[in-house]
Amino acid sequence: MDFQGSVKTDCIAPIWTVEAEGEDWINIAGSCREQGGRLVSIWGSEAGEGFFVQAAYVFPEGMLIARHPAVEGQYASLSDLFPCAGRMQRAVYDMLGIDHGGADKRPWLSHGMGPSFPLRKNPLPDQVLSEKDYPFVAVEGEGVHEVAVGPVHAGIIEPGHFRFQVVGEKVLRLEERLGYKHKGIEKQFEGMTVQEGAGLAGRISGDSTVAYSWTYAMAVESVCGVKPPERASFLRGLFLERERIANHLADLGALGNDAGFAFGLSQFSSLREDILRLNKQIFGHRLLMDLVVPGGVSRDLDMDAKRRIFEECEIMERRVRDLREIYMDHTGLQDRFLTTGRIAPELAAKLGLAGLAGRASRNAVDLRVDHPYSPYDRLEVVMATHHGGDVAARVSVRFDEIAESLRLTGLMLENLPEGQISCELPRMSGCGAGWVEGFRGEIVVFLEIEKGRVRRAHAHDPSWQNWPALEFAVIGNIVPDFPLINKSFNLSYSGHDL
Amino acid sequence: MSAFGLFTQILQLLLSLLLAPFFLGWLNQCRAWLQNRQGAGIEQPYRKLGKLFHKDAVIAESASPLFRMVPYVLFGAMCLAASIVPSLATDLSFSKAADAIALAGIFALARIAISLAAMDIGTAFGGMGARREMLVGFLAEPALLMVLFTASLISRSTSLTVIVETLAHRHFEIYPSMAFAGIAFLMVLLAENARLPVDNPASHLELTMIHEAMILEYSARHLALIEWASSIKLFAYVTIGIALFVPWGIAQAADWLGMAFALPILIAKLLVAGAGLALIETLVAKQRIFRAPEFMGTAFLFGVLGMLVHFLLGA
């Protein structure tokens, strides 16, 4: 990565920014693709008299954020180079009305339920869309029929619409329709103080509240040019790993349940509940919400709490190992998991499959290993990968990551530095970014701050990369296996729809 | 038609209607215990029926009269099935009306009725459920018949009451053929009653459902009747199993003392059967839908093996 005028930000993660005018926009994308990098996020903003579109890439050296002026509200599409760009570009259009050159002009986040282009300074009046404005791609042929599922489901889960083209029980094609959870998060950020923003960031996706608040805090700190105290970093790491463990436990239980093995659900749920209750007792919140704040963390840890977490980790490690054996030895369960919903490593690399699902398809990307910053730079995190790419692989990676997170928790508690848990933040203006490995994958927050108030905030969830990949994962599988495959990815609706 | 026959017939039918939700509740409670959960209690199915009967029914706009009729057809069919299976006594007035083959026919009638109702609405899930139900049914029914035939060969009659009298009240004999039939019957029971590993009665995932997918559009009294009918079907299947494989304790004709013992013995057997089924359902995972024909094929094979063994050994 060597682009003229690229500037390293003050972030503790390696993030650079560059102004990409004219052809540079597409050249950077091209060189990223050549070097085996990946596109993380695309978002837009309105500044001064014009619109800008920004893209975040990951090169081997770190992240590069390219900012490109959308001349006359237009810019060149990146979807030929990066398939995951398509939906992000459609979302940019829904939010700001700046036109990508891509072929698919259907809305993505917008369902025509509110003002058009809400992120503009002057949004257009309400625009009403009907279902006819959103044609799904149909498959023709004898015996092919359509199955529409959602957005309201039989169970209590988040809303999303899935349109299957099937012949018999076999899925020929799946098309997702999301955006039902769009709640104007990015618009709400505008004008908030940095502290208010931290609260909102922690509520973007409830299951990743630590990851989002840490990413947001990191972005704020990079604007202010401060580094949080060491003790705060370690506590953030502790929170993040506890969040990861809790979520992986929930997923493993749900995966058993979706395969009709309710025993797994009750066992893993009780383990997860142990973690959440200890969280509540020690830190005051089951999901650890609002604990990571810009400048540090809001709650400290005493010796007694330390001992209790240690003890819990020991018990947890043993019980998860036992349950892993049960899962691995269960013929019926393995029959459902193996070869189901497979994404081959080659396809995963092409689609830019992110995070946990990526690692299960040999896409060895883990921020904690690739670009470790405090506290991970002193922990030597071992990345869990698998070559299978099927549900079984994603189950296996989850088990490995729980074991690793338990080990990291122990290490962080042992080496917890003394000192302050937060520091003062000067009132600054500028742009900053944060980058954290949440339980699903890498979360990025991009922030523009003006005199202590948020001017523009963009949050990226790894689900943007993985939702399109899910459509590939189900091809050739049978309809009743879809819930299991979907669960094995466990993607965020809320973090994606914003 | 004897007075005793009529009395036992009415008593048995009423008991079936009352005990069926109890058995389902007990089964679910055992499952909960085996999963380290507290469970909702044995009375939960009764509460659910009570709740559903008190609600107003919502019927899809596209529903034809068939859709409204089917819950009653289903309930009636299951009541008839429960009437002719000797669970308390062998002296049943209705038993002459239908034999073992007719019993399989009654189940088939119910299956066709509910499948038609599922397709009547025209939703994707209804069609999907009906299709899968037929996939399971077309193999389950012959397997059930094979089991009944094995028992019929022993007693030289297709009448269920005669079969039970032969098995329970003649001098004690061990029938190797019935061992094979027993395995086949257990598999048929699981598949026909939408239990694991063929279907998951607790699932909330509409794409994976078989039985539940067919009744998604039903509500209130219609749903209550269907739920009740399903529990009666399960009860009938379990009592068929009891009648064929552990018939001891079922009262004979005009045996008033036997009748007094028959009920506690039946309840004890039901408790054991429920715990056993719960154990099976806890240990297995749900199979892929395309394993169902394999599963039913195995059941059919065991049924045929039972008959072959009977011919080979003459027992």
Residue A153 lies in a domain: no
**Do the domain assignments include residue A495?**
no
Q: Are residues A223 and A85 in the same domain?
A: no
The residue among A156, A166, A266 with the most chain B CBs within 10 A of its CB, best to mutate, is: A266
ipTM for the predicted complex comes to 0.86
Which residues of chain B are within 8 Å of residue A481 when distances are taken between CB atoms? 288
Same domain, A279 and A345: yes
Give the gyration radius of chain A's Cα atoms.
Answer: 22
Length of chain B: 315
- A203 and A288 both lie in a single domain: yes
Chain A residues interacting with chain B (CB cutoff of 8 angstroms)? 145-149, 153-156, 169, 256, 258-263, 265-267, 270, 330, 332-333, 335-336, 478-483
Within a domain: residue A142?
Answer: no
CATH number of the structural domain spanning residue A461: 1.10.645.10
**Is the domain of A93 the same as that of A200?**
no
User: Which residues of chain B from 120 to 139 reach within 8 Å of chain A, CB to CB?
Assistant: 124, 128
* Tens digits of residue pLDDT in A254-293: 999 999 898 999 999 999 999 999 999 999 999 999 999 9
Are B100 and B158 in contact by the 8 Å Cβ rule? The answer is: yes
Residues of B in contact with A333 (CB under 8 A): 285
Q: Are both A126 and A191 inside the same structural domain? A: no
Give helix B220-245 / helix B256-283 axis angle, nearest 10°. 110
Whether A63 maps to a domain, the answer reads: yes
Number of independent structural domains in chain B:
1
Q: In chain B, positions 200-239, which contact chain A (CB-CB < 8 Å)?
A: 200, 202-208, 216
Tell me which of A263, A474, A484 to substitute to probe the interface with B (most B C-beta atoms closer than 10 Å).
A263
User: Which CATH number goes with the domain that contains A57?
Assistant: 3.30.460.80
* C-alpha distance from A472 to closest chain B C-alpha (Å): 18
Is A2 domain-assigned? Answer: no
Residue A138 lies in a domain: no
Q: Are residues A232 and A339 in the same domain?
A: yes
Q: pLDDT of chain B along its 315 residues, tens only?
A: 577 778 888 888 999 999 999 999 999 999 999 988 898 999 999 999 999 999 999 998 888 999 999 999 999 999 999 988 888 877 777 777 788 899 999 999 999 999 999 999 888 888 889 989 998 888 899 999 999 999 888 888 888 888 888 887 776 677 888 899 999 999 999 999 988 888 888 888 888 888 888 888 899 999 999 999 999 999 999 999 998 888 877 777 667 777 788 888 889 999 999 999 999 999 998 888 888 889 999 999 999 999 999 888 875
Identify any residues that bridge with A53 across adjacent strands, giving them in sequence order: A44, A68
Side chain identity at residue A95, one-letter code:
M
In a domain, A144, yes or no: no
Q: Total structural domains in chain A? A: 2
What tens digit of pLDDT does each residue of A436-463 get?
Answer: 999 999 999 999 998 889 999 999 999 9
For residue A174, tell me if it sits in a domain. no
Nearest chain A residue to B39 by CA distance is: A266
Q: Which domain holds residue B104?
A: 3-313
Q: Which residues of B touch A253 (CB under 8 A)?
A: none
| Structural domain of A234 | 185-489
Residues of chain B with C-beta less than 8 angstroms from the C-beta of A391: none
